[in-house]
Structure 1
């Protein structure tokens, strides 16, 4: 009996497909080294994307805070496979990559999909246009075989970027969205749903482990959960509504005093966002409480005081998730510490926070499509 149980565990673990994620050098470091950061921040302030498709306008956080740490992983498209480094994003639903159709100068710094070299490529008559306050991209929708590790989605719809502006030095070749189908502006079936519907994954879940310090070691896993990446138990939180990775948060506090989310608010768990984002008034209050001083569009504290700053506690479903100062005050390449709380420019009728990679580096996250819930646990 013990042998059968052990065999079952081995078989189950083999059903989990793990994709290594790499923390890449960021625009912040690159521009800081060239003494260009402040000029860039003034000219290209952080904004949420405005996405438009035929007959609809959908505003979602798609390309966010690319000047911070970003985690990218490899996928392939086409036959024979062409490799791309993409951002796995729970805030959007579509896959797109740069292509040889691109006429922008910026495309020369990215890996381009070469459609003529793929025997399984199939064009469509659909186009897409993604508009941003600081830039834009548009192109055509195509179909081809997409592979995420051992997972294969044949005849998968994806976008080929043809033209773009405003996205200097983006450190990835495209985005793979992992949100619900209703968030898709291309109108097709997202890749995770195709894999789920075709029985390619053992469970309709995926999970993220983001390394705190090392460039390597981060993982996105599909089809199950590897318990070696977290300690304690997973705390499950139901989604506010099916269709978006958004949960109810009880409060945000500092030194046992509520400083935001008084009476409850919404929190979007977003692997595509580097920072912690909230309403302007509440963000300003947090920056004031920790003594952060503005410099351009950023806020800084002396690195010498970081160890004396208080933790900021996020209470979700009755459980506290502390965010210590060592996590939210990050040292840049010039040896200065900037605060990773910023204004969320998306105006909503309710108080909404975005829990980005600053939070997710501390807490292992599981996205359960089968039960419309998110699991959180202390990352190892």
Structure 2
């Protein structure tokens, strides 16, 4: 049996593609350094409700949580167009679409002097006729423009660019990102994805996104969450025969700026210890699984009798029902402070592990993981309340959990593999 397990690991690791991830300063840290974090927290009260709606109010609108990316710490590089234009993107298992800013974006987060929209895009509402056009059909050469805080995609620089004229709209809490859908060649980790659908933003909410280090988002959830009529990047990579196996995996480093990776089409067992434990996906839209309980020192404190959990690389914190999270905050002696919960840094070594039991296996999360050190003498709780209108017993396990446990997302078998990170 042991020999069979080794052979399985060898098979998993054949011909995988590894994409390095960079650990970055989070949007929260940037907002705090610029003294606008309190304004942000007031304007965007935390709620992931829209992200997990089964019945979306408008099928043509994708609903995303603005606060979801506040603590994102890892980004990868993807290239779009011919020749390639590079972008730092959040590789997000909690969404399915790819979008980046366009040079026509009318927001300080994109550019200080956006270019006027060319025909047929004379206005954002509507964007124009649904006919494909290529850069050669546009009139006038591109003009120099002051750069914004993010890289912006320029259709005029890509010979393989096509656009459908279809609007996309992402709702972020009380604000929104709007733009249009396009098609172009996407390169990720040496893989070349031809005619990939992606969004180009024309408007981004307020000025807060200019404090984000990432340019856009690349979703890795199931295609049911994608914008209608489009195929996500991962699915196209598989359909185009660019991967040996229909799976991907994440290893998130705990401290170093480098070392984190996304693996496509295989698994490298040197990134984890022991054996992978497999958990079936309970609902193939998000990477959703059934959890047994959450406990401290043998006492169940949440998820009593079972609940649902979503493994989400686009969320850094551990999010759950507000009343249960509040109970955890009290148990770890966290005190409310301007929309966050502060923990005495000197007590971290005395705080208990919090045990997530999944499919009969215990996954401890120590205080050194769930308490975030923001400044030399300031520590914050890594738990945050999730207000879900339909599924009150839903938890979202973000990077705090993923830094501890190497995670395989197996689309072929609709399951998630977990093992202690090396």
TM-score, structure 1 as length reference: 0.93
Greater alpha carbon shift after TM alignment, 297-306 vs 37-46: 37-46
Greater alpha carbon shift after TM alignment, 12-21 vs 359-368: 12-21
Greater alpha carbon shift after TM alignment, 349-358 vs 309-318: 349-358
> What is the rounded CA distance, in whole Å, between the counterparts of 1:334 and 1:17 in structure 2?
38
Are positions 1:112 and 2:176 aligned together?
no
Are positions 1:96 and 2:96 aligned together?
no
Give the 5 Å matches for 1:21-36: 21-36=21-36
> What is the rounded CA distance, in whole Å, between the counterparts of 1:146 and 1:56 in structure 2?
26
Secondary structure in 2 matching 1:346: coil
Are positions 1:185 and 2:249 aligned together?
no
Tell me the CA shift for residue 39 of structure 1. 3.5
Structure with bigger strand share is: 1
Q: Residue 149 of structure 1: which of 189, 211, 224 is its match?
A: 189
Counterpart contact for 1:275–1:342, Cα < 8 Å: yes
Counterpart contact for 1:140–1:162, Cα < 8 Å: yes
> What is the rounded CA distance, in whole Å, between the counterparts of 1:235 and 1:32 in structure 2?
39
2:18 matched to which residue of 1?
Answer: 18
Counterpart contact for 2:247–2:412, Cα < 8 Å: yes
Secondary structure in 1 matching 2:274: strand
1:5 matched to which residue of 2?
Answer: none
> What is the rounded CA distance, in whole Å, between the counterparts of 2:350 and 2:171 in structure 1?
42
Greater alpha carbon shift after TM alignment, 121-130 vs 58-67: 58-67
> What is the rounded CA distance, in whole Å, between the counterparts of 2:49 and 2:328 in structure 1?
25
For residues 35-88 of structure 1, what are the alpha-carbon distances to aligned partners after superposition, in whole Å with 9 as ceiling and x for unaligned? 443343223333337479995177765554433242100010000011111000
> What is the rounded CA distance, in whole Å, between the counterparts of 1:225 and 1:295 in structure 2?
42
2:78 matched to which residue of 1?
Answer: 75
Change (3 A) 1:59 1:315: farther
Tell me the CA shift for residue 32 of structure 1. 2.9
2:299 matched to which residue of 1?
Answer: 257
> What is the rounded CA distance, in whole Å, between the counterparts of 1:240 and 1:122 in structure 2?
37
Secondary structure in 2 matching 1:119: coil
TM-score, structure 2 as length reference: 0.84
Are positions 1:130 and 2:133 aligned together?
no
Change (3 A) 1:294 1:131: same
From the CA coordinates, give the structure whose radius of gyration is larger.
2
> What is the rounded CA distance, in whole Å, between the counterparts of 1:187 and 1:64 in structure 2?
27
Secondary structure in 1 matching 2:238: helix
Greater alpha carbon shift after TM alignment, 22-31 vs 244-253: 22-31
> What is the rounded CA distance, in whole Å, between the counterparts of 2:178 and 2:246 in structure 1?
31
1:121 matched to which residue of 2?
Answer: 161
Tell me the CA shift for residue 33 of structure 1. 3.0
CA RMSD of aligned residues (A): 2.3
